[in-house]
Amino acid sequence: MNTLAKQWAIGLLGAAICVAMLGLGLWQMRVFESKEHDSAAATAALPPVPLSTLVGADGGYGGAYGHAVSVEGRFLPDQQVRVVGADGVVRVLTAFLLDDGRVLPVVRGTVPSGDGVLPQPPAGRVGVSGVLLPTEEASDTPSTPGTMGSVRLPALAQAWPQQLLPGFVTLSAAEATSQGLGAAAVVLPTGEGSFTNIGYALQWWVFAAFGAFMTIRFVRAIGRQGTLGTLSDQEEA
C-alpha cells in the first residue's frame, strides 16, 4: 500500500471513530434532557401544596417553580389580559387577590382567538390550584392594548396597582374547563437530570477531540515516512 492510500485509510478510520464518539456524546445529552423533562413532569404531577408554604427566606419561590400549588382569594374581573402567543393561542390572565393584599397572576385557560368578550372568573372567595411558574421571556409578537405576548411579570407590575407575587399560576385542565375555558399548555421549568450523563457526554467529546488530534498526527507521520523513503530510494539510485 502506497503512502497516500495509507493516509486515506488512517484518516477515514479516525474520522469514523470520531463521528461515533460525537454521536455517543449527543446521545448522552439527550438522555440528560429526557431525565430533566421526566423529573419536571413528575414534580408538576405531585398533589398541590399551599402556596404560602413554598416562600423562601428571601421572599421568592426559588426552586418551587414547577410545583402544583393551591391558594385562596378572589379574582379581580376588571384586571384581565389576553396573552397572545406566537402560535396564535390566546391565554386568559386574571389577577387573583390574596388575603394579604398582594396579587397572583393566574392563567385561567385559553379562548379562541376571535372571541371578543372574555369569560368572567368565578365570583367571591374561591380556592384554585395549578402549576407555579416564573415570569416568561419577552415575546416578539406585537401586542395591542389589553394584550401581551407572554406573561411578563415586570410589565404586569406596571399595569396592575397591587404588589405582585414573584410568579404566576396556570390552572389545571379541570379547573380551566369548569370556568368555560380551554386548558392552557404549561412549559415546565428545567428539572433535575443526571449530571452523570453530562459527564459521559463531555468524556466522549474529549475522546473525539483527542482521536481527531491523533488521526492528524498519524496521517502526517505516514506522510513524512513516505517522503523519507522516497528520498532514500533516490539516494540509492
Residues 136 and 106 occupy one common structural domain: yes
Task: Give the CA dihedral 147, 94, 38, 177, nearest 10 degrees.
Answer: -110
| Model pTM score | 0.61
Q: Is the pLDDT of residue 30 over 90?
A: no
Average pLDDT for residues 114-139, to the nearest whole number?
A: 84
Residues 71 and 171 occupy one common structural domain: yes
pLDDT tens string 187-224: 776 555 445 556 666 776 787 787 788 888 877 877 77
Average pLDDT for residues 31-57, to the nearest whole number?
A: 63
Residue 199 lies in a domain: yes
Residue 60 lies in a domain: no
pLDDT of residue 114: 67
Task: Give the CA dihedral 117, 125, 136, 192, nearest 10 degrees.
Answer: -140
Residues 130 and 170 occupy one common structural domain: yes
Q: What is the domain range of residue 77?
A: 67-178
Residue 87 lies in a domain: yes
Q: In the chain, how many domains are there? A: 2
Residues 136 and 78 occupy one common structural domain: yes
At residue 174, the 3 state secondary structure works out as helix
Q: Which residues lie closer than 8 Å to 208 by C-beta, 6 or more apart?
A: 18, 19, 21, 22, 25
Residues 173 and 203 occupy one common structural domain: no
